[in-house]
Amino acid sequence: MSPASTGASTAVGADASVPAADSRMAPGGPGYRRMSLALFLAGVATFALLYSTQALLSLISGEFGVAASDASWTVAAATGGLALFVLPMSALSERFGRRTVMTASLAVAVTVGVLVPLAPSLGALIALRALQGAALAGLPASATAYLAEEVRPRALVTAIGLFVAGNSVGGMSGRVVTGWVAQEWGWRIAVAVIGVIAVACAVAFRLLLPAPRHFRAGSLRPRVLARTVRDHLSDPLLRRLYAIGALFMTVFGGVYTVIGYRLTEAPFSLPQGIVGSIFLVYLVGTVSASTAGRLVGRLGRRGALYAGGATTAAGLLLSLAGSLPLVLLGLVLITAGFFAGHAVASSAVSRTATHGRAQASALYQSAYYVGSSAGSTAGAVAFHAGGWAGTVGVGLLAVLGVVSITLLGTRAARTERRLATAA
């Protein structure tokens, strides 16, 4: 099905259609550094805002007198709002442009961020966080679609890896900053500080991001959108990638929603500032995401996914130890495995989709953040029922799902090769 028939962008796609003089961006070329920095900052703002309450859940529980499973909804509502609205936002980006939608999304999200610290009740806080997540929905799918259209295919995994690295830096800095600020001035001031940082990132993003050169406006007709979504969901490879993204994020969401409770309780009993600093392990995710392209080059896409799953599982098992250094090493492995797997899966979606890239990426992001919401809630419930071992059990089941789905892909590829050889 051609791009024109779907109403999707007619931007240049596969290598075969690229003219000899490819005007898209590549490392070392004009605009590539500005684009990389702009989307890196967009990733920082997105994750800093999206998970701004995650390191503060024990304080929120204390102020409102609620359990971990209730406070975790301040995270699950934001990721759930993003998952619900990412597909409609991607449709708007097909019509009005990637840069326009990303700019508007950041503007609304940082405006809501001003109101979040003023929430008078847990219910109001959850509602504001859901609205903030819905606003942020314009970023992830539009960013990957922008990259797929404006960056040369051979540089795409690296470019998306840098965007994902920005996510990891945002997640890390947001949690570290909120941890130390909250220890002195409370969680409300901590969330307000994150809002100010996000405003600065949003302004810099808009000033730096080059204007798109390969975008072609598509249609907003619901029938066209439904047909494009149906095309993507009928592709077995895309379905597997969506499931893998959701399962990886189930692990990550569960672990990092609950880890603050574990570390503030006996036998560790760490202060809030130190707990926030634990999220410095996100720097490992920055490295693993930005080097995902080289990992795929050495192991192949499925090999890289196996490696990411195995690393994550090893980290989960190691985190069961009663020694703080071993718990931290476990978090390092979980973070490295997750970000590598996420970068590989998300870039594979962009390369696989031949039309409606924003919708293909949106479906991935929707599945990814559904996984985050499910992981946050299931991890907290499991922790309440069985302690940290319960949360680890949820994570190991999700990793088993990743490995099983990747194995199905490996077998499907072997079958296709045998049939091609026989033909």
pLDDT of residue 31: 81
Please give the Cα distance from 147 to 166 (Å, whole number): 14
First-to-last alpha carbon distance for the chain, in angstroms, is: 25
pLDDT of residue 3: 36
CB 32 within 8 A of CB 25: yes
CB 268 within 8 A of CB 262: yes
Please give the Cα distance from 123 to 120 (Å, whole number): 8
Tens-digit pLDDT profile for the chain (423 aa)? 333 333 333 333 334 444 445 777 777 777 888 888 898 898 889 888 988 898 888 899 989 998 888 998 998 899 889 889 988 888 888 788 888 999 999 999 999 998 999 999 999 999 999 999 999 998 877 887 788 788 887 777 777 777 777 777 787 777 788 888 998 899 999 999 999 999 999 999 999 988 877 777 666 677 877 888 899 999 999 999 999 999 999 999 899 889 988 998 888 988 878 887 887 887 787 778 777 778 888 888 889 999 999 999 999 999 999 899 999 999 999 999 998 998 899 888 878 887 777 788 889 988 988 898 899 889 989 998 999 999 999 999 999 999 999 999 888 878 777 776 765
Please give the Cα distance from 202 to 46 (Å, whole number): 9
pTM over 0.85: no
Name the nearest CA neighbour of 232 among 344, 145, 309: 145
Give bridge partners of residue 25 from the DSSP assignment: 151
Please give the Cα distance from 88 to 139 (Å, whole number): 12
Q: Which residues contact 177 (CB under 8 A, 6 or more apart)?
A: 190, 193, 194, 197, 276
**3-class SS string, 45-98:** HHHHHHCCCHHHHHHHHHHHCCCHHHHCHHHHHHHHHHHHHHHHHHHHHHHHCH
Please give the Cα distance from 77 to 81 (Å, whole number): 6
Rounded to 10°, the helix 156-185/282-290 angle is 170
